[in-house]
Amino acid sequence: MALVEQKLNQVATELRDVAKVLVMSKPALMPVLQKMIQAGAMLMQEIGKSKQEGQQPQPSGPPQPPGGEGAQAAASPTMDQGQ
């Protein structure tokens, strides 16, 4: 999983570079790039959750519904737009 995180961080860096060029040359494509960034952030969030679950004992009782995941993923500093 460390390799996956490393590669995703590399992708995030590349997407920031793409955003810098795209915003100047093809701004109409920025919504597509933003969706890619959000998907990457969601993936990183899920990887972080699975790491935490592996380190912590599972709580007993019914599972609790997750809250606010979409807002957290969109605000991830790892996969931001770099603007």
Which of 30, 32, 13, 20 has its CA nearest to residue 79?
13
Give the tens place of pLDDT for each residue, 12-32: 999 999 999 999 999 999 999
Regions of the chain where pLDDT drops below 70: 56-83
Which residue matches tokens 């969601």? 42
Distance CA 22, CA 29 (A): 7
Which sequence spans correspond to the domains of the chain?
Answer: 1-52
Q: Output the pTM of the full model.
A: 0.58
Half-sphere exposure of 66 (CA within 13 A, CB side): 9
> Quick one: how many helices (H) and strands (E) in the chain?
3, 0
What does residue 42 show for φ and ψ, rounded to 5 degrees? Answer: -65, -40
